[in-house]
C-alpha cells in the first residue's frame, strides 16, 4: 500500500512537471512578483487609502506564497513518511516556512532562465538542493558506509 501511495505521489509530481497543455497556476515569475523579499510587507506610514489597498494586496500575495510553500512542503513530507526510499526531499522537523520561502527565492534568483517554469517543478528542485536525502547505495550499505 505504501508503494502504491508513493507511486501515486510520484505520478502527480511527474504530471505536474511535464504537462504543459494548461498553464501552471504558479510559476517562478509569479512567485517572484508576489513575494520578492524575505520580509513580511511593511505597513505604510500614511492614511492614503490607495497605499493601504496596495499594502493589503502585498500581504495577501505574501501569505499566498507562504501557503503555497507550506502545502507543497507538506506533500513532500507526506511522501517522505509514506516511502522514504523514493522521497526527493528530506528535512528535519525544525524547518520553518520562512526558511522554505528563502530557499525558493534564492533558487529563483540564481536560476532566472527557469522562472517561466511551473513552480511545482522549481520548488522540487530547490528543496532537493537544500535538503537532499542521503540514501545509502546498496554497495555503500554492504561496505558499512
Lowest mean pLDDT among 54-68, 70-84, 108-122, 129-143: 129-143
**Torsion of Cα atoms, 50 then 55 then 58 then 60, to 10°:** -100
Give the pLDDT confidence score for residue 143 in this predicted structure: 35
Q: Cα–Cα distance between 67 and 47 in angstroms, integer? A: 29
Residues with Cβ < 8 Å from 87, sequence gap 6 or more? Answer: 76, 79, 80, 133
1 or 55, higher pLDDT: 55
pLDDT in tens, 66-104: 888 888 888 888 888 898 888 888 887 788 888 889 999
Q: Cα–Cα distance between 13 and 121 in angstroms, integer? A: 8
pLDDT in tens, 125-137: 999 999 988 764 3
* Closest to 78 (Cα-Cα) out of 67, 88, 63: 88
Give the pLDDT confidence score for residue 28 in this predicted structure: 93
pLDDT in tens, 17-48: 444 445 678 899 999 888 887 776 677 776 66
pLDDT, average across residues 3-27: 54
pLDDT, average across residues 49-73: 80
Q: Cα–Cα distance between 20 and 9 in angstroms, integer? A: 19
* Closest to 29 (Cα-Cα) out of 110, 116, 107: 116
* Closest to 114 (Cα-Cα) out of 20, 19, 29, 13: 29
Exposure of 63 by Cβ count < 10 A (0-12 exposed, 13-18 middle, 19+ buried)? middle
Amino acid at each position: 500500500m505504501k508503494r502504491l501511495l508513493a507511486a501515486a505521489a510520484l505520478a502527480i509530481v511527474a504530471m505536474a512537471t511535464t504537462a504543459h497543455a494548461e498553464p501552471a497556476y504558479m510559476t517562478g515569475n509569479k512567485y517572484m512578483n508576489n513575494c520578492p523579499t524575505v520580509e513580511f510587507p511593511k505597513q505604510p506610514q500614511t492614511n492614503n487609502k490607495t497605499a493601504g489597498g496596495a499594502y493589503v494586496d502585498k500581504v495577501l500575495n505574501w501569505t499566498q506564497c507562504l501557503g503555497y510553500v507550506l502545502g507543497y512542503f507538506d506533500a513532500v513530507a507526506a511522501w517522505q513518511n509514506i516511502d522514504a526510499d523514493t522521497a526527493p526531499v528530506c528535512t528535519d522537523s525544525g524547518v520553518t516556512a520562512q526558511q522554505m520561502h528563502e530557499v525558493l527565492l534564492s533558487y529563483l534568483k540564481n536560476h532566472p532562465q527557469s522562472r517561466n517554469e511551473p513552480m511545482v517543478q522549481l520548488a522540487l528542485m530547490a528543496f532537493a538542493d537544500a535538503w537532499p536525502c542521503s540514501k545509502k547505495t546498496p554497495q555503500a550499505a554492504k561496505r558499512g558506509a
